[in-house]
Structure 1
């Protein structure tokens, strides 16, 4: 009888903070239309060159599509890896546009109806760092 209680206690400890049901997919973010602002920093910029202005875009995000991205019909992107830990998504991808290859990696952390993340991009020897913040606006349109 004592062994049964120890096994049950071990299962409860393992299930704390995670879903022990195989039927329920993990919900990382509040699905819907999100507005995201990206601030980019490029290394190697000449002194006195003004910083790039922040860019804002809207995107429908879901638990199937958790990585914020500005879509460009002239760019072909391939997701290399995507890992989820708690409410944080870590990812990497490779994009090709006009014969140029860009490699990107980043993290995005969702907290209810807000998110924050960072991205590192390397393209043709240039590197860029981006900081992303966002908020959920409502259901997808």
Structure 2
């Protein structure tokens, strides 16, 4: 029974819940970036480089012809799909850049927040009285 209580305490902690939300949002954000790369950026890059689809760049390893699409070549045997890797790498770089920009904005916002000066510590009354007695004794001895 003790282990279940520990697990419940662990699972309900804020950090675990924040992590779960972060993973879910990250997965959704990854899909958005993937769509941006596949549907917006890669067609432009493909047009610049002669209308070829990078995702279909591969080197056949089992003697398949280069005229096949990547999917057909994979069905026929092993392929070295470097074009698909380049597309996924571009996805990662764009995602990393966007996250970097978000972190920069958050850090800049944190720096601009005015620092709240701590309130001066209130000296306890007994300390004040002891200081007054000390000062009075110094005056008498001088």
TM-score between the two structures when normalised by the length of structure 2: 0.27
Structure 1 or 2: more strand by fraction:
1
State the structure with bigger RCO (CA 8 A, min sep 6), 1 or 2.
1
Larger Rg: 2
